[in-house]
């Protein structure tokens, strides 16, 4: 019998619910990223992320979370207030999501950029994320400039 590759299409909700199960059992999961909500740090169609289930969620973490009881997002934690979280994609400039700590499926520990592993908790990554956060009012212009000059 000839080996053949089968392509199976799953909805995001089914796929990420399976990812969540693996993470809840102590596994790690590497997934390709789609979309541009985490630009300029994570580029859809180019980068992959490795997720783990962490005991605590902190401000600045990039998390996979179930939001509003309807969809999964891979966004950064902007604010923690007890069990309540406010998330925002690095590529967004005005859209926030709210969820609970219990809605977080996993935390990004590694970003694979062009085949190179970047540790999400490195001092340089934290510094870049904090600096980017301070540019919030100007992000739309910076992202446009990055695209214009082929940076992302």
**Nearest residue to 50 via CA among 33, 70, 71, 37:** 33
- Whether 74 maps to a domain, the answer reads yes
Q: Structure tokens of 81?
A: 């207030």
More confident residue, 1 or 86: 86
Q: Please tell me the distance from the alpha carbon of residue 52 to that of residue 50, in angstroms, as a whole number.
A: 7
Q: Structure tokens of 73?
A: 């997002």
The pLDDT of residue 1 is above 70 = no
- Whether 96 maps to a domain, the answer reads yes
Domain total of the chain = 1
- Whether 105 maps to a domain, the answer reads yes
- What CATH number is attached to the domain comprising 136? 2.10.109.10
pLDDT averaged over every residue in the chain: 92
Domain range enclosing 32: 12-148
Band (152; pLDDT cuts 50, 70, 90): confident
- Whether 7 maps to a domain, the answer reads no
- Whether 4 maps to a domain, the answer reads no
- Whether 63 maps to a domain, the answer reads yes
Question: Tell me: the pLDDT tens digits for 69-113?
Answer: 889 999 999 999 999 999 999 999 888 999 999 999 999 999 999
Q: Rounded mean pLDDT of 120-139?
A: 92
Tell me how many degrees the CA angle 44-148-146 measures, rounded to the nearest 5. 55
More confident residue, 19 or 149: 19
- Whether 1 maps to a domain, the answer reads no
Q: What is the pLDDT of residue 5?
A: 79
């Amino acid at each position: 019998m000839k080996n053949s590759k089968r392509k199976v299409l799953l909805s995001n909700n089914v796929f990420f619910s399976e990812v969540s199960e693996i993470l809840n059992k102590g596994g790690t999961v590497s997934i390709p990223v789609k979309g541009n909500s985490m630009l300029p740090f994570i580029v859809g169609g180019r980068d992959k992320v490795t997720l783990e289930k962490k005991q605590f969620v902190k401000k600045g973490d990039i998390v996979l979370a179930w939001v509003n009881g309807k969809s999964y997002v891979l966004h950064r934690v902007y604010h923690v207030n007890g069990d309540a979280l406010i998330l925002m994609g690095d590529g967004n400039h005005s859209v926030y999501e709210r969820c609970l700590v219990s809605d977080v499926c996993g935390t990004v520990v590694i970003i694979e950029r062009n085949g190179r592993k970047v540790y999400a908790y490195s001092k340089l990554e934290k510094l870049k994320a904090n600096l980017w956060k301070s540019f919030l009012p100007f992000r739309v212009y910076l992202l446009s400039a990055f695209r214009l000059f082929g940076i992302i």
